[in-house]
């Protein structure tokens, strides 16, 4: 007899902007994604397309610590790009591959609730940026049990009628945490965590938290990889079975993150 799905492990894949915005890379990813057995969820970014559309419309994209400052006009742009253009193209292409995809934001079905980030102690107002309060595991469960594959764009809502721009890595972590059992894979343009980002031969196949701290201290791990790995360790501490950072060409390779 088949394992009941509620005892199955959900595979959560996060895919970044560089992949979703390149038709060939996206096709490679989606081909690999549909081959994953069992319940699965795809969380996507789209920041580069948002930056491009903003520039075309004469709106400046302001980033602070890698996060987009989201005023009302920028919120419209990310809503159009993430929930519209990127999300629905992925959905249509997965349907063409026989995968019953359903594109969602956190507002749909009240799936992921957030609150607007308060002004930081340094006085930075990120605008319509959301920090997640809860992702509803019961709803994911109900969808996955019906063979539906949720495709999540990085927008949440505050329950008071406002959409909020939310970091896609964080969304993926929250989605993974909301499952009874899950693995989380961050899928991006490099083969994994590299000692030298220009040399894929320097891949670190296994990384634990002690290694992480010493590699941050000696400057080997820097920039956007730091919050990505912090998310990964948070996910492990919250009960996610495994976290992997890898490329679209090898969803079960790359760097395996362990506590």
What is the binding site for a second copy (CB under 8 A)? 53, 56-57, 76, 79-85, 87-89, 91-93, 95-96, 100-105, 107-110, 148, 155, 157, 159-163
Supply the minimum distance, in Å, between the C-beta of residue 136 and a second copy. 11
Q: What does each C-alpha distance from 29 to 15, 40, 109, 189 come to in angstroms?
A: 8, 14, 27, 11
Q: Which is nearer to a second copy, 7 or 138 (CB)?
A: 138
Supply the minimum distance, in Å, between the C-beta of residue 95 and a second copy. 5
Which helix (DSSP H) or strand (DSSP E) does residue 121 occupy?
A: none
Q: Which is nearer to a second copy, 13 or 53 (CB)?
A: 53
Supply the minimum distance, in Å, between the C-beta of residue 187 and a second copy. 20
Q: Which is nearer to a second copy, 110 or 189 (CB)?
A: 110
In whole angstroms, what is the distance from residue 226 CA to residue 243 CA? 15
Q: Which is nearer to a second copy, 95 or 258 (CB)?
A: 95
At residue 109's C-alpha, the angle toward residues 23 and 166, to 5°, is 55
Coil, strand or helix: which one is 245?
Answer: strand
Whose CA is closest to 133, among 90, 177, 91, 101? 177
Supply the minimum distance, in Å, between the C-beta of residue 152 and a second copy. 13
Supply the minimum distance, in Å, between the C-beta of residue 33 and a second copy. 14
Q: Which is nearer to a second copy, 105 or 220 (CB)?
A: 105
CA atoms within 13 A on the CB side of 110: 4
Supply the minimum distance, in Å, between the C-beta of residue 179 and a second copy. 20
Burial grade of 136 (CB within 10 A; 0-12, 13-18, 19 or more): middle
Q: Is the dihedral of CA 110, 141, 20, 190 positive or negative?
A: positive
In whole angstroms, what is the distance from residue 180 CA to residue 149 CA? 16
Q: Which is nearer to a second copy, 57 or 222 (CB)?
A: 57
């Amino acid at each position: 007899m088949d394992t009941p799905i509620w005892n199955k492990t959900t595979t959560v894949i996060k895919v970044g902007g560089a992949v979703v915005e390149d038709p060939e890379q996206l096709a490679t990813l989606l081909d690999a994604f549909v081959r994953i057995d069992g319940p699965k969820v795809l969380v996507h970014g789209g920041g580069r397309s948002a930056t491009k559309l903003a520039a075309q419309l004469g709106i400046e994209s302001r980033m602070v610590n890698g996060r987009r400052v989201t005023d009302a006009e920028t919120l419209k742009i990310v809503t159009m790009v993430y929930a519209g253009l990127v999300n629905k193209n992925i959905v249509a292409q997965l349907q063409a591959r026989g995968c019953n995809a359903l594109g969602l934001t956190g507002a749909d079905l009240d799936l992921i609730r957030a609150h607007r980030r308060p002004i930081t102690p340094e006085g930075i107002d990120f605008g319509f940026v959301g920090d997640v309060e809860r992702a509803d595991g019961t709803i994911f469960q109900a969808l996955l049990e019906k063979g539906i594959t949720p495709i999540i764009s990085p927008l949440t809502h505050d329950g008071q009628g406002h959409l909020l721009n939310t970091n896609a890595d964080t969304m993926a972590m929250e989605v993974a945490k909301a499952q009874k059992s899950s693995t989380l894979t961050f899928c991006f343009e490099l083969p994994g965590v590299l000692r030298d980002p220009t040399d894929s031969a320097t891949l670190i196949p296994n990384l634990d938290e002690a290694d992480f701290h010493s590699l941050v201290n000696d400057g080997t791990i820097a920039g956007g990889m730091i919050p990505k790995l912090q998310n990964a360790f948070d996910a492990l501490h919250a009960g996610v079975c495994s976290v992997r950072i890898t490329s679209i060409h090898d969803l079960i390779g790359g760097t395996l993150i362990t506590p």
